[in-house]
Amino acid sequence: MTSLLLKLFIKNSNDTANPTVRRKYVNLGSAVGAVSNILLFIIKMIIFFISGSISVMADAFNNLSDIGSSAVTAIGYRLSEKPADKEHPFGHGRLEYMSAMVVAVLILLVGFELLKTSFDKIFNPEQLRFEVFSVIALAASVIIKFWMFLFNRKIGKKINSAALVATAQDSVNDCVSTTAVLASHLIFRFAGINIDPYIGVAVAIFILYSGIKTIKDTLDPLLGMPPEKETIDSIVKIVLSNEEFVGIHDLIVHNYGPGRSFASLHVEVPADANIVACHEDIDACEKRLQNELGIQVVIHMDPIAVNDENTQKTKESVVSAILKINSKLSLHDFRMVDGEEQINLIFDVVVPSDITLNDSEIKAEIQRVCKEIDSRYMTVITIDRDYISAQ
Task: State the sign of the Cα–Cα–Cα–Cα dihedral 94, 99, 104, 108.
Answer: positive
pLDDT tens-digit profile, the chain (391 residues): 778 888 888 888 888 777 778 878 878 888 888 899 899 999 988 988 888 887 788 778 777 777 766 666 667 667 777 777 888 887 777 777 777 787 778 778 878 887 888 888 888 877 777 778 888 989 999 999 999 999 989 998 888 877 788 788 878 888 888 888 888 889 988 888 888 888 878 878 877 887 788 788 778 777 777 778 888 889 999 999 998 898 888 888 888 876 678 899 999 888 888 889 999 999 999 999 998 888 899 999 888 877 788 888 999 999 999 998 988 898 988 988 877 788 999 899 999 888 888 899 999 999 999 999 999 999 999 898 887 754 4
Contacts of 373 (CB under 8 A, 6+ apart): 317, 318, 321
Instruction: Please name the residues in contact with 271: beta carbons below 8 A apart, sequence gap of 6 or more.
Output: 303, 304, 305, 306, 307
Q: How far apart are CA 104 and CA 170, in angstroms?
A: 8
| pLDDT score at 367 | 94
For 94, which DSSP code? T
pLDDT of amino acid 68: 65
- What span, in angstroms and rounded, lies between the C-alpha atoms of 71 and 106? 12
Total residues found in the chain within this entry: 391
- List the one residue out of 111, 100, 329, 68 whose CA is nearest residue 201: 111
Interior angle at CA 173, CA 37 and CA 98, nearest 5: 80
Q: Are 370 and 379 in contact (CB under 8 A)?
A: yes
Give the number of other Cβ atoms within 10 Å of residue 383's Cβ: 14
Hey, do 225-305 and 308-391 end up sharing a CATH topology, with the first three levels equal? yes
Contacts of 196 (CB under 8 A, 6+ apart): 53, 54, 55, 121, 128, 181, 184, 185, 188
Q: Which residues of 163-184 are buried (b: 16+ CB within 10 A; e: fewer)?
A: bbbbbbbbbbbbbbbbbbbbeb
| Edge-to-edge strand ranges of the sheet holding 377-385 | 330-337, 343-351, 377-385
The domain covering 2-223 belongs, at the CATH homologous superfamily level, to Cation efflux protein transmembrane domain (1.20.1510.10)
Tell me which CATH homologous superfamily contains domain 225-305.
Cation efflux protein, cytoplasmic domain (3.30.70.1350)
- Order of strands, edge to edge, in the sheet holding 261-270? 247-255, 261-270, 295-304
The DSSP element (H or E) to which 203 belongs, if any, is: helix 196-223
Pick from 345, 337, 336: nearest CA to 371 = 345
Predicted confidence at residue 70, as pLDDT, reads 67
pLDDT at 217: 76
pLDDT at 121: 81
CA–CA dist 231, 145 (Å, integer): 33
What would the CATH number be for the domain defined by 308-391? 3.30.70.1350
Partners of 380 in beta bridges: 346
Structural domain boundaries in the chain: 2-223, 225-305, 308-391
CA 285 – CA 263 distance, rounded (Å) = 13
d(CA 69, CA 90): 26
Secondary structure (3-state) at 49: helix
How many separate helices (H) and strands (E) can be counted in the chain? 11, 6
pLDDT on residue 391: 45
* CA 386 and chain centroid, separation: 19
The predicted model scores a pTM of: 0.59
Residue type, 260: R
CA pair distance 186, 130, nearest whole angstrom: 8
Q: Which neighbouring-strand residues pair with 378?
A: 344
Host H or E run for residue 295: strand 295-304
Q: Is 333 helix (H, G, I), strand (E, B) or coil?
A: strand
Are 269 and 333 in contact, with CB atoms under 8 Å apart?
A: no
